[in-house]
Structure formats: C-alpha cells, structure tokens
Amino acid sequence: MKKPVIQFENYSFQYRSQTAPTLHEIDLTIYEGEKILIVGPSGSGKSTLGHCLNGLVPFSYKGEVSGSLKICGQDAKDLDIFSLSKKVGTVLQDPDGQFIGLTVAEDIAFALENDCTPQTQMFDKVAEVSKMVEMEDYLDSSLHHLSGGQKQRVSLAGVMVDDVEILLFDEPLANLDPATGKYAIELIDRIQQETNKTVVIIEHRLEDVLHCPVDRIIVVDDGRIISDMTPDELLASPVLEQCSIREPLYVKAAKYAACDITPEMKPAHLDTFQVESCKGQLVDWFTKVDSPQPREKTESVLELKEINFGYTPGKRTIHGVSFSIEKGEMVSIVGKNGAGKSTLSKLICGFEKPSSGRIYYRGQDITEDTIKERASRIGMVMQNPNQMISKQMIYDEVALGLVIRGVPEAEIKERVIKTLKICGLYPFRNWPISALSFGQKKRVTIASILVLEPEVIILDEPTAGQDFRHYTEIMEFLVKLNSQGVTIIMITHDMHLMLEYTPRAIVIAGGRKIADDSAVNVLADSTIIEKANLKETSLFELAHQAGISEPKQFVERFIAYDREVRQKWQ
C-alpha cells in the first residue's frame, strides 16, 4: 500500500470576491511517487486546485474553505504557506514573470537565501541542482538571454533546491515551442524517475503531456472532478469530448472513423496504440471524406523584398527575407522563440526600419511610410490584450482610433457598431472592459484594429494561453473575418493552429526564411521540423500505421472534417 501524500476530502472553496464556490466537494487522493495530470477547460477550477496545494489558496487568495485537505499527512489548515512551500514546489505558468533573481544562479538560490543558508552551502547546492536540469554552464547568464526552455529549467531548479516532496507544474507548456515542450515533458519524466517525487501537472495540451507516461488523469469541469482514470481508460471514454478538451489527434481521427476505442488498445501513446483492429475503418473513412478545395490565386497585397535588419549595428536579426502574401490569404509565420518572427511583424508595421530591402503594399513602396500611415492598411494585434487596452468601456476602446483620426461622430458610431457586431461584442458594448474574460478582451483588441478597416491584420500568438473552446472560438472568428476579405497573418508556434487554420506557413529560423509551403508539407519535412523546433503531427504516424499511402492527404482531410464538426459548437 502506497502512502497518500495529497488527500482532498469533501473539499470546497469559494473565493471571497465570488458568489459561488469555485471548487465543489472535491475528493481526491494522490499517492507518493505518482504522476498525475489535471486537465480541464479555462475557468474549470483546475488552477484553483493547484493553488490549494501550494497554499496560495487560502493564504494569498482569500476565501472560504470547507472539508479537509491533507498534505503529507498534515492538515493544510495547520500549515502556513512557507511550510507548504517546503513540501510542494510550484513551477508557475509564465517563466518570465516568476524570475526573481537577475542571473540563473541567484534565481535558483532564492529559496535557500530565504532559509538563511550560509553562502558556501548555497554555492554547492546550486551547482548540484543546476547539473540535474542541465543548466550548470549558464549559472552567471542573465535570465533574459535564455531561451524559453532554458527558462523553464531554471524555474524547475528553483523549486528543486528545496527537496520538496511534490512538484506542481502549472501549465508548463504554455509558452514553449513544440520541440521545447516535448523536451520539458521528458525532463519532468526523468526527474521524477531519478528522485521519485510526486508530480502533479496542470495542463490542457493533453497530447503533448502524454508524450511521457502518466499514472492518472483527473478531469475537472465546473469545479468538480468529472473523472479520475488512467490515460487509456480516459481516452477510450467520451469524457474529454463532453468537457471540450482536445483529445490527441490520432485518437480523434480513430473516433471519427467510428473505431471503437477500448482501454486495451492502449491509446495513451501512439507507439503503444493498437490500430490493427480499426485499420479498415480508417481507410474507409479516408476515402469517404472530401479533401478541402485549394484556394484560388489572387493579387499580391503585401510583399517583402530582401529585408535585412539588426537591432544593434553589426548584429543582424533578419537576413534577406522575401515573401509575398496574396489578398484574402491566411498565413502563419512559425519558428522557435527568438527566431525573428516578432521582429518581422514589427518591420511590416513600421515599428522598426529595415536596414535594407523594400516592403510593398499592393505594389506600392511603403518602406518609408510612418507607423500611422501603415496602420490604416496593416493592423497589428499584440499577444497580451492588457498591453493594448486603455479605455474603461468597450465602445470607447473600439472607437479610440477613429476619434483620434477625427472621423465625424455619426460615422464613428456606425463603424464601431458594425465592428462590434462582427466581433460578437455588440451585446456587451456598454460593459466595462474589466468585466470581460481574457478571450473577450482579445476580441476587443481585434475589434479596435478592425474598426480602422485595414486590409491586413497581423496577430501575435492569437491563442496563447487559451483552452480548446476559446481557441476554436477565436480562430473561427478569424476565419470568418478572412472570408470577408481580410488578409490574416499569424505569428505562432502552435502547430495545431498552423495546421488547422492556415493553408500556408512561412518558417523562420535564425532570421532566415527556411520554408514557405503548405502547412502540411512543412510538418512533413523533418529537416524543417528540426531547424524550426516544430514537431511532427501524430496524424502522419497514424496514417502510416493504418497503411494509408497518402498521409498528407489524410491530415488535410482530417483537419477539414474536424473543423466542420467543431463549427457546430458555436
């Protein structure tokens, strides 16, 4: 019999500022050395559940607790946040935000400093832990100069110095590119095997976490535990679909093909998944569904010619990038963190001036145009909506650009209302922005750009940190805009997004364009995948295993079919 380390018994929690409890009657036991994944849509209470474990609830976020929670046999009520932090080490979602020190070593040592550890002991411990996460060569590096994956390793090291018993990861994959995410999951797995700690991962990117085995998956929705099963059992059940959590694509494909998935088929990992029994159905389904129509060629709306750029003289960030985007296209620009994607978008919007090369808009040279002049043709939506919103009311925020341009009031009203209707924000027009959810705020920022009637919109990571439902909502909204003739360029490292919504992908690595092809072709090319830190989609492998000779076609048809199914959600 294993020792239970986390025991929720009839546990409920209500935030002080809210009228209804966020967690209802949670009963959950996690045993020593287990690896648990908690999934659930945004607002389901899964993060609150994590906060209960590390003590942020109720110490930082006050509220009413009922029932009991025992951590390592001790009642959480009798512990304070500091003694809890010695038992539960938390790696927060956003690695940038949680760094406290300036350099790697300092940040790792932070918890030790707070324990008054003598300096020499700190040096030893930091050296030891940094080795475990393979960061020993970067001890004196500034945290800002690290890649996303390295940052995450540092934050992991920062909690490992404490010899905690439980490691809690809050959305560890949120800001990582696909290849780095895969590595992060492998690292978590390795550390768990080496140290036999209990690991709790909160994440909605199920397929990516399942890259390494987990013992159980807890599904949370509406503040309740919906299911508590092994991955194989869960994937065979309809629970995920009901909570609108994205299932692994290969499982989804098999389900579309009407295969009967049972836990015995071991669907938790593609390598173990026994497709033999449903090969026939997959092939049948493949021949039955239609392949999507390729879009027709139109005239070029935006063209970059041999763009070179560097932030500091002598150090180039962008090397001779050229591409042309046609009117009405939906294109993604992909590549790993720091490849130069965002820099490219800044160059297009005129935030930065290229050192050489030209930018054309409908054949007209706009390289020398100011930010404001370009803004009426090319709009830019930033990743974090809080960085764009400056008014209290939705109507005012959307109208801002027009008011400043001195548009007559009657016209402003007309255009704002039209835009709000397109964006589905009309019912909220008199609401304060602070009352909106993150996804709705994102829409407000898109609306405030859209109202200026640009022909091209550039979005930086439009779905970062969104769950599957919101992701679908935002993307379908963008597709709708696109079908009305707005050209859309997305900067992303989300492969699902690129595969599903953008027929064409431009891949940037090290400031150079390394591919400009259909999204499916990009993901089928292993050299590009490696150079740009992408990951092959599991659908290819499934098609291979099912003996389908045109795996690319299979992927395309799956995506078209899947989107149609999901459109019914709206």
Partner 1 sequence: MAVEMLSYIERQSPVHRLTGVTKLICFMIWSSIAMLTYDTRVLVFLFLFSICVFIVSKVKLEEVAFVLLFILLFLMINNLAIYVFSPQEGVKIYGTSHVLFEIGGRYSITLEQLFYQLNVTLKYFTVIPAAILFIVTTNPSEFAASLNRIGVSYRISYAVALALRYIPDIQRDFRNISLSQQARGIDMSRKEKLPKRIKNAASIIIPLILSSLDKIEIISNAMELRGFGKNKKRSWYRARPFQKIDVFTLILFAFILLVSLYATFYDGNRFYNPFL
Q: What residues line the site for partner 1 (CB under 8 A)?
A: 54-56, 59-60, 81-82, 85-86, 90, 92, 94, 97-103, 105-106, 109-119, 122-123, 126, 144, 158-159, 162, 311-312, 346, 349-351, 371-372, 374-375, 379-380, 382, 384, 386-391, 400-401, 404-405, 448-449, 452
Please tell me the distance from the alpha carbon of residue 549 to that of residue 546, in angstroms, as a whole number: 9
Nearer to partner 1, 59 or 426 (CB): 59
CB of 475 to partner 1, least distance (A): 22
Residues 6 or more apart in contact with residue 257 via CB below 8 angstroms: 278, 281, 282, 284, 285, 286
CB of 288 to partner 1, least distance (A): 47
Give, to the nearest 10 degrees, the angle between helix 148-160 and helix 104-114: 20
Strands 356-361 and 300-309: antiparallel
Please tell me the distance from the alpha carbon of residue 276 to that of residue 237, in angstroms, as a whole number: 19
Please tell me the distance from the alpha carbon of residue 170 to that of residue 190, in angstroms, as a whole number: 18
- Report residue 47 as tokens: 């993060």
The pair phi, psi for residue 326, each rounded to 5°, is -90, 160
CB of 162 to partner 1, least distance (A): 8
Residue spans of alpha helices (H) in 32-118:
46-54, 56-59, 81-87, 95-98, 104-114
Nearer to partner 1, 382 or 464 (CB): 382
Please tell me the distance from the alpha carbon of residue 555 to that of residue 534, in angstroms, as a whole number: 16
* Cis upstream peptide for 292 (omega within 30°): no
Position 1, amino acid: M
Please tell me the distance from the alpha carbon of residue 199 to that of residue 192, in angstroms, as a whole number: 7
Please tell me the distance from the alpha carbon of residue 460 to that of residue 380, in angstroms, as a whole number: 8
Residues in the chain: 570
Nearer to partner 1, 97 or 294 (CB): 97
| Cα–Cα–Cα angle for 118, 119, 123, rounded to 5 degrees | 120
Nearer to partner 1, 141 or 262 (CB): 141
Strands 63-71 and 35-39: unpaired
Position 419, amino acid: T
Q: Which of 447, 455, 523 is nearest to 489 (CA)?
A: 455
Strands 88-91 and 166-170: parallel
Nearer to partner 1, 122 or 202 (CB): 122
Contact by Cβ (8 Å): 363, 300: yes
**Count of beta carbons in the 10 Å neighbourhood of residue 224:** 15
The DSSP output letter for 103 is B
Question: Half-sphere exposure of residue 413, counting CA atoms within 13 Å on the CB side?
Answer: 3
The pair phi, psi for residue 429, each rounded to 5°, is -55, -30
